[in-house]
Amino acid sequence: IYNDGTLFQFMDMNHIAYHAGGNFNTTSVGVEISNAYYPKYQSWYKKHGFGRWALQTKEDGAFVGWCGLKFNEQECVDIGFRIMQTFWNRGLATEACIASLKYGFEMLGLEEIIGRAMSENLASHRVLAKAGMKKWKKSQTAALGETMYFRIRRQDFLGHE
């Protein structure tokens, strides 16, 4: 999908080792993993009609990361995001999360959306909270280890717009 090193920079982010099951230290491995995930993401779109979105800057279309909704392994609609480190602290993750929540509630008619982050990933906790989500529970997951769960219900989100 990306063979110019962009994906490597993206996949070398702080917690990709937990999410994708490995610590990638070469561009070719990153491209290989990306190409393996692409059919999986396509099948999610076909099955559910939604999925993760690529994020780009408005100014020049530079790839920033991704954000969006998908069904997780527990069959809950889960919001997820990954932003390249060079774009952190600009509000982009929060903006993308709010847009994803709005799409989920207004366009898809969902009743609840959850978000998850590693318990120690306080920056992601702040993003989810700024998007209006509330802490819900802690649990162990295979992909993230000790995980903090957030959630928001349709009526709570639509009532705050």
Tell me the per-residue pLDDT of 22-54, one tens digit each, with 9 for 90 and over: 333 344 445 565 666 667 777 778 888 888 888
Q: What is the pLDDT of residue 27?
A: 44
Comparing C-alpha atoms, which of 133, 7, 124, 131 is closest to residue 65? 7
Q: What is the pTM of this model?
A: 0.79
Taking residues 89-94, what's their average pLDDT? 93
Q: Positive or negative CA dihedral for 101, 126, 44, 9?
A: positive
Give the tokens for residue 59. 């100014």
Percent pLDDT > 70 in the chain is 75
